[in-house]
């Protein structure tokens, strides 16, 4: 029986009111929590995709110098580890840190409301907490950076071990490679260990701070008992302060986690701001005629090439004129600059001076256009893990008949069952010679006026070498062909031979004419092959010279 109906009604009404308010809050929380989480994840995913795409396109357009100075492991690490952190860990840790700090702010607000004097110990403990946080975050970031740095060599080691597996096994060097791997792995693991230890130590100091705060909250009732009214309020303050203890453990660690995960963002951003090669597209004002390169006349004028601005030039004052359709052999000792000459043609490094092809300065042409107009067969043939059709004609511009014709010309028709036959990774289901022949067939399909061979026959047997030379003579008759060779017989039947030494052209002319100079660099190189070979080479040079004498005379008249 109620003694005071009006008081009872008011209490009943206010209880109902609070239950309704509480229910509304709960309903809002149920709806808003997943909504806000999804919104945050959507924003994070969008940012991560943009970062990935930007980094990828920047790396594709980076100059060759970038790949010379950055090991593949480091680049792979940005795409695997760092992108993994940005995709998976960063959104979670950021959201959790945000939530924990909001809850902490709510609890502190409640404690201060109920017991304002708690602000004083909170300020002192907050300052202490800030100090620990700064010390920990600074250290954690450095250790995390170190972890990234020590991880890249592990990746590089694995990828180079896989590449050189045959050599490792043949040299019985498995144990050495395992030891190297273990030492790299140990270094990386020790940084991981450091991350865990520093995090645990930080946690210990946070536990001390939160325990002190909880003690203050609890003992205040004994000291200032009258300050807080009602046992319910006391219970509320203590239970909230106890939640704060847990939050104080999670929150700062999450903040530190966010800060260290942000290092991955910093590392990805580094690769988003790389210098680019280029320009890739030709400016409309410099657009050459549609059928440029029509003849294949190359002129090098005072060309210097440097791989890095602060290094000495590798090609020095190169002056050459290569006539349309000429077959030029390039020889020189190792490091003489033969491959660098080819790099200058493709603008793979910084060049000074001018290189013109059919009277068009290559520096005025976009890289896409320039590089697509020159065919190259490198020493290591490049095959894609796709069909034979794709390997011969990646841009799908030729008919099947053209592709079969090209395969026929390199005598691969019988070895290929169908244009849809798959090529394994790196062309491993083809022999080294066959891979070169597929590259040669690709060059035939491409039908460019300038062909470059960079020691293309160094790894093939003499039969395939001869077939490649014959195919080039038959199919690239009207093309300008530059051949870097270390087998001198490959270039003895060239129209001209260029001898490079320390980045300079020391001799340039028909091989037979160069051999008439007994003190010439070319003569010395031929003599070094031994008397029998020298005689054979001289005969080849002479026969080719006499055979082409009428052609030369025609050209001159």
Ligand X SMILES: Nc1ncnc2c1ncn2[C@@H]1O[C@H](COP(=O)(O)OP(=O)(O)OP(=O)(O)O)[C@@H](O)[C@H]1O
Binding site for ligand X (CB under 6 A): 68, 307, 314, 332, 334-340
CB of 303 to ligand X, least distance (A): 13
CB of 307 to ligand X, least distance (A): 3
Helix (H) or strand (E) holding 90: helix 90-114
Nearer to ligand X, 175 or 334 (CB): 334
CB of 369 to ligand X, least distance (A): 24
499 φ/ψ sector (left φ>0, alpha ψ -120 to 50, else beta)? beta
Residue 541 is encoded by which pair of tokens? 């040079």
Nearer to ligand X, 85 or 374 (CB): 374
* DSSP conformational letter for 415: G
CB of 79 to ligand X, least distance (A): 23
Q: Considering only CA atoms, which of 334, 438, 299 is closest in space to residue 377? A: 438
Nearer to ligand X, 392 or 456 (CB): 456
CB of 334 to ligand X, least distance (A): 3
Nearer to ligand X, 293 or 336 (CB): 336
Rounded to an integer, what distance in angstroms lies between the CA atom of residue 242 and that of residue 222? Answer: 18
Rounded to an integer, what distance in angstroms lies between the CA atom of residue 523 and that of residue 305? Answer: 27
Nearer to ligand X, 69 or 386 (CB): 69
CB of 486 to ligand X, least distance (A): 7
Place of tokens 């003599």: 527
Sign of the torsion formed by the C-alpha atoms of 62, 63, 69 and 73: positive
Rounded to an integer, what distance in angstroms lies between the CA atom of residue 396 and that of residue 317? Answer: 40
Rounded to an integer, what distance in angstroms lies between the CA atom of residue 492 and that of residue 497? Answer: 8
CB of 453 to ligand X, least distance (A): 13
CB of 538 to ligand X, least distance (A): 24
Residue 104 is encoded by which pair of tokens? 């902490």
Nearer to ligand X, 317 or 548 (CB): 317
CB of 525 to ligand X, least distance (A): 13
Residue 341 is encoded by which pair of tokens? 């000459």
Place of tokens 């010379």: 68
Sign of the torsion formed by the C-alpha atoms of 274, 280, 284 and 286: positive
Nearer to ligand X, 126 or 378 (CB): 378
Q: Considering only CA atoms, which of 507, 514, 504, 506 is closest in space to residue 541? A: 514
Nearer to ligand X, 306 or 527 (CB): 306
Rounded to an integer, what distance in angstroms lies between the CA atom of residue 139 and that of residue 332? Answer: 53
Rounded to an integer, what distance in angstroms lies between the CA atom of residue 330 and that of residue 453? Answer: 10
CB of 338 to ligand X, least distance (A): 4
Nearer to ligand X, 296 or 332 (CB): 332
Contact 93, 257 (CB under 8 A): yes
> What's the farthest any 2 CA atoms get from each other in the chain?
133
Nearer to ligand X, 100 or 305 (CB): 305
Contact 499, 525 (CB under 8 A): yes
Rounded to an integer, what distance in angstroms lies between the CA atom of residue 344 and that of residue 346? Answer: 5
SS3 (DSSP) at 422: strand
Nearer to ligand X, 311 or 417 (CB): 311
Nearer to ligand X, 153 or 332 (CB): 332
CB of 343 to ligand X, least distance (A): 7
Rounded to an integer, what distance in angstroms lies between the CA atom of residue 234 and that of residue 133? Answer: 30
Rounded to an integer, what distance in angstroms lies between the CA atom of residue 246 and that of residue 249? Answer: 5
299 strand-pairing partners: 321, 356
CB of 456 to ligand X, least distance (A): 13
- Cα distances from 64 to residues 278, 281, 306, 379, in angstroms, run 12, 18, 12, 18
Nearer to ligand X, 252 or 337 (CB): 337
CB of 501 to ligand X, least distance (A): 10
Q: Work out the end-to-end distance of the chain between its first and last CA atoms, rounded to an integer number of angstroms.
A: 132
Rounded to an integer, what distance in angstroms lies between the CA atom of residue 552 and that of residue 547? Answer: 10
């Amino acid at each position: 029986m109620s003694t005071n109906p009006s008081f009872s009604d008011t209490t009943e009404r206010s209880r109902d009111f609070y239950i309704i308010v509480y229910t509304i809050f709960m309903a809002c929380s149920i709806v808003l929590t997943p909504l806000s989480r999804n919104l945050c994840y959507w924003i994070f995913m969008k940012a991560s995709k943009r970062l990935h795409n930007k980094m990828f396109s920047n790396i594709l357009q980076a100059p060759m110098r970038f790949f010379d100075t950055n090991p593949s492991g480091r680049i792979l690490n940005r795409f695997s580890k760092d992108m993994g952190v940005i995709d998976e860990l960063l959104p979670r840790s950021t959201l959790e840190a945000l939530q924990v700090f909001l809850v902490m702010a709510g609890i502190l607000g409640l404690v201060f409301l109920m017991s304002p004097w708690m602000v004083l110990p909170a300020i002192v403990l907050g300052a202490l907490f800030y100090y620990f946080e700064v010390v920990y975050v600074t250290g954690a970031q450095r250790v995390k950076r170190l972890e990234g740095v020590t991880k890249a060599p592990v990746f590089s080691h694995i990828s180079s071990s896989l590449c050189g597996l045959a050599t490792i096994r043949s040299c019985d060097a498995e144990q050495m490679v395992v030891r190297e791997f273990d030492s790299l792995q140990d270094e990386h693991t020790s940084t991981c260990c450091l991350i865990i230890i520093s995090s645990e130590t930080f946690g210990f100091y946070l536990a001390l701070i939160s325990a002190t705060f909880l003690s203050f909250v609890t003992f205040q009732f004994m000291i200032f008992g009258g300050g807080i009214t009602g046992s319910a309020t006391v219970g509320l303050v203590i239970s909230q302060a106890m939640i704060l203890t847990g939050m104080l453990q999670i929150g700062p660690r999450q903040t530190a986690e966010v800060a260290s995960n942000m290092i991955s963002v910093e590392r990805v951003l580094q690769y988003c701001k790389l210098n680019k090669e280029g320009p890739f597209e030709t400016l409309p004002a410099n657009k050459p005629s549609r059928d440029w390169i029509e003849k294949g006349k190359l002129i090098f004028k005072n060309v210097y090439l440097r791989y890095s601005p602060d290094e000495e030039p590798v090609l020095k004052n190169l002056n050459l004129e290569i006539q349309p359709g000429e077959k030029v052999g390039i020889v020189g000792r190792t490091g003489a600059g033969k491959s660098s000459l080819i790099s200058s043609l493709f603008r793979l490094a910084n060049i000074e001076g001018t290189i013109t092809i059919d009277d068009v300065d290559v520096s005025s042409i976009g890289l896409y256009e320039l590089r697509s107009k020159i065919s190259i067969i490198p020493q290591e043939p490049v095959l894609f893990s796709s069909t034979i059709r794709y390997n011969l004609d990646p841009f799908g511009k030729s008919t099947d008949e053209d592709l079969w014709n090209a395969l026929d010309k390199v005598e691969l028709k019988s070895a290929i069952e169908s244009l849809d036959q798959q090529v394994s990774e790196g062309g491993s289901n083809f022999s080294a010679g066959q891979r070169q022949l597929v590259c040669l067939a690709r060059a035939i399909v491409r039908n460019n006026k300038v062909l470059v061979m960079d020691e293309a026959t160094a790894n093939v047997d003499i039969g395939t070498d001869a077939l490649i030379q014959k195919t080039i003579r038959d199919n690239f008759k009207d093309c300008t062909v530059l051949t870097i060779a270390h087998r001198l017989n490959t270039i003895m039947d060239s129209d001209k031979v260029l001898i490079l030494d320390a980045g300079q052209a020391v001799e340039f002319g028909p091989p037979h004419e160069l051999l008439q100079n007994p003190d010439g660099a070319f003569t010395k190189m031929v003599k070094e092959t031994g008397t029998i070979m020298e005689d054979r080479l001289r005969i080849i040079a002479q026969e080719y010279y006499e055979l082409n004498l009428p052609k030369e005379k025609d050209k001159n008249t």
